[in-house]
A and B are shown apart, each in its own frame.
Chain A
Amino acid sequence: MTTVHTDPILDGPVDRIPGETDLIEAAMRWHFDPQTGSRFWLGQADTLGFDPREDIHTVDDLARFPNIVDRLRYVPAGDLIPRGYAVQDGAVQDGAVQNGAVYGVYDSGGTTGPPKHVVFMMDWMERLLVRTDQEMDERHYPAAADWLALAPSGPHMYGAFVRETVRRRGRLGFTVDVDPRWVKKCIAAGRGEQASQYAEHVVAQARAVLETQDIAVLIATPPLLERLVRDEELRKLIADRVQVIEWGGAHMDPDTRYLLRTEVFPRARMVGRYGSTMILASAVERAGLAPDDPCIYDPFSPYITFRVVDPETGEPVPYGSRGRVVMNHVSKSAFLPNNLERDEATRIEPPPGQAGDSVADVAPVAVFGDSLVIEGVY
């Protein structure tokens, strides 16, 4: 007989969010059961020194897992798919997967080395889109409107996510592709001028759309937004017409955010998004924040959870203090625990019912100002 593994909690209705402990315990049973877990995680099980199905119950417990994300640079990505997605014909078939269960395979940005590969399953995309829909309703995104996204397609998941979002709640989704890997390569090689030319190339394509189409939702990175508004005509066009400007993919300092919200786009709503390939999702800016409030992100808990820790000790910093962000993704589709990101953030008390922390004012780990110059008089 042909059966597909299901789990009452992991496969619950998309609009019903399980509790923290229920989700994590169900996920441990799923990912560490030889019948349903992935080749990758089952291969790790013996090295952990604890039994996830017995010992892991909460978000805090996830800190016991090693940070495995570096291994995602070279493991066959198919090994990440839980066996439970396979059609079962009595015996377990490694690598088999039910038709239509995979949405896609995507890469991290490759900032810190070769890219990491992750697998995005259909059921997770569905949950994410339902949640995103609610978030956008709460933030009064216009319905059935035309969008313009200056965002990466290619190996990154963000372009696909935007496409699905527009299909679900927009009308036309205009896109201009952005290749962040090339930009990073140019900058790392000291070819800032080439990176700048590339940004102008993207801006020129965006201008062509903005000048002729009625764009109500604009998605861009902070550096591209800055480029767009250097031209006063283009700034005015966006400020007069676009209702929601969603930014993400890079950090925005509080001074820039304040200027954009007050002077540059006094009428449009600006919404920040803090994502990571390693959580297969992004956290949206809390609704109702004033321009001078910290930019707080609440993740899609308990699937996506954050902790803000002292990187030396791994212990949580007090609320209101800065620390490094640790991210977890726990779902039927994937298990990516305890990933110490390179970002710093302020630890914020979560809204009621949310597991883990909220984070605010995310920024790259502080870079000190002008390095000490010894020789010379200047």
Chain B
Amino acid sequence: MTAESPSAAPPTDGSAELIGLDALGPTGTYRSRNRLPITDLAGVPLAELSLVPSLYVHRAIAALRAAEPLPAGDRLAALARAGEAFATETVGGLSVDEYSHAVSRISGMPIPVVRRATEGTWRALLGAGRNARQARPRASVDDWHDPATLGGRAVWTRRGEVFAVHAAGNHPGVHALWPQALALGYRVAVRPSRREPLTAHRLITALRAAGFGPDQVAFLPTDHTVADEIISAADLAMVYGGDDVVTKYGADPTVLVQGPGRSKILLAGEDWHRHLDTLVDSVGDEGGTACVNATAVFTDTDPDGLAAALAERLGAIPTLPPEDDRAVLPCQPSGPAAALERFLLDRAAGTTPRLGGAGITDPVPGGGVALRPAVFQVDRADAAQTGIELGFPCVWVAPWSPADGIGPLRHSLVLTALTHDEGLVDRLVAEPTISNVYVGDHPTYWMRPDVPHDGYLGEFLMRTKTVLRD
């Protein structure tokens, strides 16, 4: 695109100090006329996000598709450079500290979580090439030039050229995954969440500075009416969302849905006292905002005692503003938080509140409220509430017995099984709706980039084809 971006124009409304989150399109930055103020917990604008129209989206994605990928070695080098800049340098005018502070004030994420995610994203970019290749079938090779193809061999190839990402805003760590697509030679368009567009902007700015041209990776914020256009214009897409998104895209083979986590913990024949730290951390680490946080705990012994102990430990977490170095709990503006509180208390009707039964919101200095932990106890393993996943430390404690089987444990991104029953573990590992099984004293949020999170991204992005040559 050759149009002069109006970004050179001085701000007209005293917004000089706002963080400018311009679109990053095929000819560089693009400041649109339609801009969305991004506000902090108190409603104070901190940034301004350029929303692009569908015409811009289609032209940007056409430019990505027309571009050649960088050579593989250059891609990995640029990813590594970008990771270092993202995590240690000033990018787009923001130092790492300024970036972390702004993310915590806008999204309410505890700043220690932001910092850990920044480190994690750096590691993920360093390892993106290696991690992406974990998905490659052992019988295949990376390149048709490989001598193995002389006698006929599987070659691992892309399923398309342009990969679109509808990013989530719940946790900055979601941006650690999609750079694997760049490593595999895709050109990538990211539509950020308006809840937290800073991380995607920072990462893509760093990727461009590190050598990915404007026709390799794009930052395309849009309003919701244009959101679908990015998915339809790209070859493949990854979308984060709840059950509605699963319903909308679940049957589309070109869309990889990152749906609800509904991670769970099962204690079968294990005394919970010895595992309380792991249970508490699984619920509350990452501010309880991640899809890998435990939503429900099932136990075959003493659910009353377990619920009381969880309530005591989680209840002791202090209320702090998110930019505080000791913050653990997520915060939100008071309006959405009040709606969330009503939703929770409404759904919890008929259960036994152990913590948070009178409400979960607690004002913090500087505006907004902390979302305090909630512990509710249900009286049967198949209670519907055990599937209610909310973006703060909120856990449902349920009784379980072998007679309940694994039915109540289905539909889990992570299932931590504290048990020595190998037959039970067999069934959990075999269950298709459980994505990851951790046996023993491991928190549900345990992750390593070389093992799958919800399958390998490469399983979706790549395919094999036979190459036979003379």
Contacts of B56 in A (CB 8 A): 255-256, 259
Which listed segment binds A: B1-9, B74-82, B209-217, B315-323? B1-9
B343 close to A375 (CB less than 8 A): yes
A376 close to B260 (CB less than 8 A): yes
A369 close to B224 (CB less than 8 A): yes
Contacts of A376 in B (CB 8 A): 241-243, 260, 389-391
Residue from the list B2, B3, B168, B339 in contact with A378, Cβ < 8 A: B168
Residue from the list A263, A292, A370, A374 in contact with B6, Cβ < 8 A: A292
- A179 to B: closest C-beta gap in Å: 21
Interface string of B53-67 (1 = CB under 8 A from A): 111101100100000
**Residue A55 is within 8 A (CB to CB) of chain B in the complex:** no
Given known contacts A255-B32, A376-B241, is B53 in contact with A232 (CB within 8 Å)?
Answer: no
**Residue B450 is within 8 A (CB to CB) of chain A in the complex:** no
B242 close to A375 (CB less than 8 A): yes
- A193 to B: closest C-beta gap in Å: 9
**Residue A260 is within 8 A (CB to CB) of chain B in the complex:** yes
Interface string of A273-284 (1 = CB under 8 A from B): 000000000000
Rounded to whole angstroms, the CA-CA distance of A263 and B26 in the bound complex is 13
Residue from the list A192, A372, A374, A377 in contact with B261, Cβ < 8 A: A377
Residue from the list B1, B33, B193 in contact with A254, Cβ < 8 A: B33
Rounded to whole angstroms, the CA-CA distance of A198 and B365 in the bound complex is 54
**Residue B467 is within 8 A (CB to CB) of chain A in the complex:** no
**Residue B194 is within 8 A (CB to CB) of chain A in the complex:** yes
Which of B346-375 touch A at CB < 8 Å? none
**Residue A264 is within 8 A (CB to CB) of chain B in the complex:** yes
- A112 to B: closest C-beta gap in Å: 19
Interface string of A146-184 (1 = CB under 8 A from B): 000000000000000000000000000000000000000
The listed residue with most A CB atoms (<10 A of its CB), out of B55, B343, B391, is: B55
Interface string of B215-237 (1 = CB under 8 A from A): 00000000111001000100000
Rounded to whole angstroms, the CA-CA distance of A373 and B232 in the bound complex is 23
The listed residue with most A CB atoms (<10 A of its CB), out of B33, B53, B59, B291, is: B53
**Residue A16 is within 8 A (CB to CB) of chain B in the complex:** no
Rounded to whole angstroms, the CA-CA distance of A186 and B56 in the bound complex is 25
Contacts of A230 in B (CB 8 A): 58, 62
**Residue A226 is within 8 A (CB to CB) of chain B in the complex:** yes
Given known contacts A192-B228, A254-B34, A255-B34, is B54 in contact with A378 (CB within 8 Å)?
Answer: no
B3 close to A263 (CB less than 8 A): yes
A367 close to B225 (CB less than 8 A): yes
Rounded to whole angstroms, the CA-CA distance of A370 and B191 in the bound complex is 13
CB-CB nearest in chain A for B290: A377
B3 close to A375 (CB less than 8 A): no
**Residue A341 is within 8 A (CB to CB) of chain B in the complex:** no
Contacts of A260 in B (CB 8 A): 55
Contacts of B52 in A (CB 8 A): 255
CB-CB nearest in chain B for A229: B55
CB-CB nearest in chain A for B232: A196
**Residue A61 is within 8 A (CB to CB) of chain B in the complex:** no
A372 close to B389 (CB less than 8 A): no
The listed residue with most B CB atoms (<10 A of its CB), out of A229, A369, A375, is: A375
Count contacts on B: residues with CB < 8 A to the other chain.
48
Given known contacts A230-B58, A376-B389, A376-B391, is B170 in contact with A259 (CB within 8 Å)?
Answer: no
Contacts of A367 in B (CB 8 A): 223, 225
Which of A256-310 touch B at CB < 8 Å? 256, 258-260, 262-264, 292
B36 close to A372 (CB less than 8 A): no
CB-CB nearest in chain A for B27: A263
The listed residue with most B CB atoms (<10 A of its CB), out of A232, A253, A371, A378, is: A378
B389 close to A377 (CB less than 8 A): yes
B55 close to A264 (CB less than 8 A): yes
Interface string of B367-394 (1 = CB under 8 A from A): 0000000000000000000001111000
Contacts of A292 in B (CB 8 A): 6
Rounded to whole angstroms, the CA-CA distance of A102 and B153 in the bound complex is 76
Rounded to whole angstroms, the CA-CA distance of A307 and B388 in the bound complex is 50
Chain A interface residue bracket vs B: 20 to 34
B1 close to A263 (CB less than 8 A): yes
Given known contacts A255-B34, A258-B3, A264-B55, is B62 in contact with A375 (CB within 8 Å)?
Answer: no
CB-CB nearest in chain A for B34: A255
Contacts of B290 in A (CB 8 A): 377
Contacts of A253 in B (CB 8 A): 33-34, 53
Interface string of A215-259 (1 = CB under 8 A from B): 000000000001001101000000000000000000001111011
CB-CB nearest in chain A for B171: A377
B53 close to A262 (CB less than 8 A): no
Rounded to whole angstroms, the CA-CA distance of A370 and B224 in the bound complex is 6
Rounded to whole angstroms, the CA-CA distance of A110 and B228 in the bound complex is 25
B194 close to A232 (CB less than 8 A): no
Given known contacts A369-B36, A373-B242, is B169 in contact with A378 (CB within 8 Å)?
Answer: yes
- A242 to B: closest C-beta gap in Å: 17
B58 close to A377 (CB less than 8 A): no
- B66 to A: closest C-beta gap in Å: 9
Contacts of B53 in A (CB 8 A): 253, 255-256, 259
Interface string of B245-268 (1 = CB under 8 A from A): 100000000000010110000000
- A266 to B: closest C-beta gap in Å: 9
CB-CB nearest in chain A for B54: A226
CB-CB nearest in chain B for A226: B55
- A367 to B: closest C-beta gap in Å: 7
CB-CB nearest in chain A for B260: A376
Which of B21-44 touch A at CB < 8 Å? 32-34, 36
CB-CB nearest in chain B for A192: B228
CB-CB nearest in chain A for B50: A255
Contacts of B336 in A (CB 8 A): 372
Given known contacts A226-B54, A259-B56, is B3 in contact with A374 (CB within 8 Å)?
Answer: no
- B344 to A: closest C-beta gap in Å: 9
Contacts of A196 in B (CB 8 A): 232
Contacts of B118 in A (CB 8 A): none
Residue from the list B1, B168, B390 in contact with A259, Cβ < 8 A: B1
**Residue B435 is within 8 A (CB to CB) of chain A in the complex:** no
- B450 to A: closest C-beta gap in Å: 24
Residue from the list A262, A375, A378 in contact with B240, Cβ < 8 A: A378
A372 close to B34 (CB less than 8 A): no
The listed residue with most B CB atoms (<10 A of its CB), out of A192, A230, A373, A376, is: A376
CB-CB nearest in chain B for A371: B224
Contacts of B3 in A (CB 8 A): 258-259, 262-263
Given known contacts A254-B34, A372-B336, A372-B339, is B170 in contact with A378 (CB within 8 Å)?
Answer: yes
Rounded to whole angstroms, the CA-CA distance of A376 and B259 in the bound complex is 9
B62 close to A232 (CB less than 8 A): yes
CB-CB nearest in chain A for B30: A255
Rounded to whole angstroms, the CA-CA distance of A369 and B291 in the bound complex is 24
Rounded to whole angstroms, the CA-CA distance of A354 and B10 in the bound complex is 34
Could you jot down 19 A-B contacts, CB within 8 Å? A192-B228, A232-B62, A253-B34, A254-B34, A255-B34, A256-B55, A259-B59, A262-B2, A264-B55, A367-B225, A369-B194, A375-B242, A375-B243, A375-B343, A375-B389, A376-B389, A377-B170, A377-B260, A378-B242
Q: Which 3 A-B pairs have the closest CB atoms?
A: A376-B242, A378-B168, A256-B53
Extra contacts, 5 of them, besides A230-B58, A264-B59, A367-B223 (Cβ < 8 A), are A192-B228, A226-B58, A259-B56, A373-B242, A376-B390
